[in-house]
Amino acid sequence: MSSRRNIILTGFSGTGKSRVAAEVARILGWELADTDADIVRREGKEIGEIFSEKGEEFFRLLEKEALIRACDAEGRVVATGGGVLMDADNRRLLFDSGLVVGLEARPETIYQRLSTEGQGRSPEERPMLAGDDPLARIRSLKAERQPFYSLAQWVVQTDDLSEGQVAAEVVRAWQMLGGRMDSSGDGDPELAAVVTHSRGSCPIRVGWGLLDRIGEGFRASGIDGPVYIITDDNVFPLYGRQAQRSLQRAEIEAHCFIIPAGEESKSWEMANAIYHWLASRRAERRHTILAVGGGVVGDLAGFVAATYLRGMPFVQAPTSMAAMVDASIGGKTAVNLPEAKNLVGAFYQPQMVLADPHTLTTLGRRELSEGWAEAIKHGFIMDADLVSVFEDHASELMGLEPELSTEVIRRSMAIKAEVVSQDERETLGKRVLLNYGHTIGHAIEATTGYGDWMHGEGVSVGMMGAAELSRRMGMIDGDVVRRQGELLRRFNLPLKAEGLDVEQIFSAMSLDKKSTGGAIRWVLLEEVGRATTSRDVPPEQVREVVEGLL
Q: Of 11 and 123, which has the nearer Cβ to a copy of itself?
A: 11
* List of residues 6+ apart from 460 with CB closer than 8 A: 370, 373, 437, 441, 488, 493, 494, 495
CB count, 10 Å around CB of 549? 20
Q: Of 330 and 485, which has the nearer Cβ to a copy of itself?
A: 330
Quick one: which H or E segment has residue 11?
Answer: strand 6-11
Q: Does 279 bind a copy of itself (CB under 8 A)?
A: yes
Residue 310 is a catalytic residue: yes
By CB under 8 A, name the one of 309, 473, 495, 550 that touches a copy of itself.
309
By CB under 8 A, name the one of 176, 384, 502, 519 that touches a copy of itself.
176
Binding positions for a copy of itself, 521-550, rule CB under 8 A = 532
Neighbour order of strands in the sheet with 98-104: 31-34, 76-79, 6-11, 98-104, 154-157
At closest approach, how far in Å is the CB of 124 from a copy of itself?
17
By CB under 8 A, name the one of 342, 388, 504, 541 that touches a copy of itself.
342
CA dihedral sign, ordered 159, 165, 168, 172: negative
At closest approach, how far in Å is the CB of 383 from a copy of itself?
18
By CB under 8 A, name the one of 55, 127, 147, 262 that touches a copy of itself.
147
Is residue 430 within 8 A of residue 530, CB to CB? The reply is: no
Measured CA angle at 176 (ends 171, 178), to 5 deg: 100
Helix (H, G, I), strand (E, B) or coil at 100: strand
Is residue 508 within 8 A of residue 446, CB to CB? The reply is: yes
Query: Cα–Cα distance between 13 and 240 in angstroms, integer?
Result: 45
Stretch that binds a copy of itself, among 184-192, 269-277, 374-382, 399-407 (CB under 8 A): 269-277
By CB under 8 A, name the one of 41, 286, 482, 535 that touches a copy of itself.
286
Residue 374 is a catalytic residue: yes
Catalytic one of 145, 332, 378, 471: 332
Alpha helical stretches, state H, 221-257? 235, 241-249
Q: Of 274 and 375, which has the nearer Cβ to a copy of itself?
A: 274
Q: Of 161 and 549, which has the nearer Cβ to a copy of itself?
A: 161
Residue 255 is a catalytic residue: no
Residue 263 is a catalytic residue: no
Is residue 373 within 8 A of residue 384, CB to CB? The reply is: no
Catalytic one of 6, 90, 234, 435: 435
Catalytic one of 5, 377, 442, 471: 442
Q: Of 130 and 143, which has the nearer Cβ to a copy of itself?
A: 143
Q: Does 154 bind a copy of itself (CB under 8 A)?
A: yes
Each residue 417-456 as x (binds a copy of itself by CB under 8 A) or -, in order, gives -----x--x-xxx---------------------------
Is residue 178 within 8 A of residue 5, CB to CB? The reply is: no
Query: Cα–Cα distance between 116 and 449 in angstroms, integer?
Result: 59
Catalytic one of 43, 56, 163, 426: 426
Residue 64 is a catalytic residue: no
By CB under 8 A, name the one of 149, 372, 390, 522 that touches a copy of itself.
149
Q: Cis peptide before 338, with omega less than 30 degrees from 0? A: no
By CB under 8 A, name the one of 122, 165, 221, 439 that touches a copy of itself.
165
Residue 358 is a catalytic residue: no
> What residues are paired with 193 via a beta bridge?
204
Q: Does 277 bind a copy of itself (CB under 8 A)?
A: no
By CB under 8 A, name the one of 130, 136, 177, 220 that touches a copy of itself.
177
Catalytic one of 416, 418, 457, 471: 416
- With 0-12 / 13-18 / 19 or more C-beta atoms within 10 angstroms meaning exposed / middle / buried, residue 199 is middle
Q: Does 334 bind a copy of itself (CB under 8 A)?
A: yes
* List of residues 6+ apart from 281 with CB closer than 8 A: 226, 228, 255
At closest approach, how far in Å is the CB of 154 from a copy of itself?
5
By CB under 8 A, name the one of 37, 86, 261, 346 that touches a copy of itself.
346
- 479 CA to centre of own chain: 35
Query: Cα–Cα distance between 154 and 172 in angstroms, integer?
Result: 10
Residue 393 is a catalytic residue: no
Quick one: which H or E segment has residue 289?
Answer: strand 288-293
Measured CA angle at 512 (ends 492, 426), to 5 deg: 90
Residue 332 is a catalytic residue: yes
Tell me which residues are annotated as active site: 310, 332, 374, 416, 426, 431, 435, 438, 442, 455
User: Which residue ranges make up the site for a copy of itself (CB under 8 A)?
Assistant: 104, 106, 116, 139, 142-143, 146-147, 149-157, 159-162, 164-165, 175-177, 180, 198-199, 268, 272, 275-276, 279-280, 285-286, 303, 306-311, 332-334, 337, 339-340, 342-347, 422, 425, 427-429, 513, 516, 532
